[in-house]
Amino acid sequence: MWEPPWGGYINYHIFSVFNFMSNLSIMNIMRDFFEKYHNERTEIKVDNDNYLVMDPYILLSIINMKLRDEYSSLEVLCEDKNIPLYKLEEKLGEVGYKYYRDINQFKGQ
């Protein structure tokens, strides 16, 4: 088997150092990304100013999450966020969803 004049042992270590440095760079990039986005959580605000322009499916997801985690009813959520109840029901009704009080959630009709 042919071996370069400088020795295969050196090639292996040069490759190992290069490989380690590449992995280290990728790990640093990943760490910076996760630290930035994990530590800087931002709450999506749903209020009277921006809910009408939201995509109805994203709005549906946010409202159902808030109903599940934070609010006992749609009326309480709308009162707290200053959203007219009928407008919210109308907006989500346009894409085929209706509020069901017994499960406190919007579901497809």
Domain boundaries, the chain: 1-42, 51-108
- 3-class DSSP state for residue 48? coil
Report the pLDDT averaged over residues 21-38. Answer: 61
Q: Say if pTM beats, i.e. exceeds, 0.75.
A: no
**Residue length, the chain?**
109
* pLDDT tens digits, 43-73: 555 556 677 778 899 899 999 999 999 999 9
Q: Are 105 and 64 in contact (CB under 8 A)?
A: yes
Q: How far apart are CA 102 and CA 4, in angstroms?
A: 77
What integer pLDDT is reported at residue 95 of this predicted model? 95
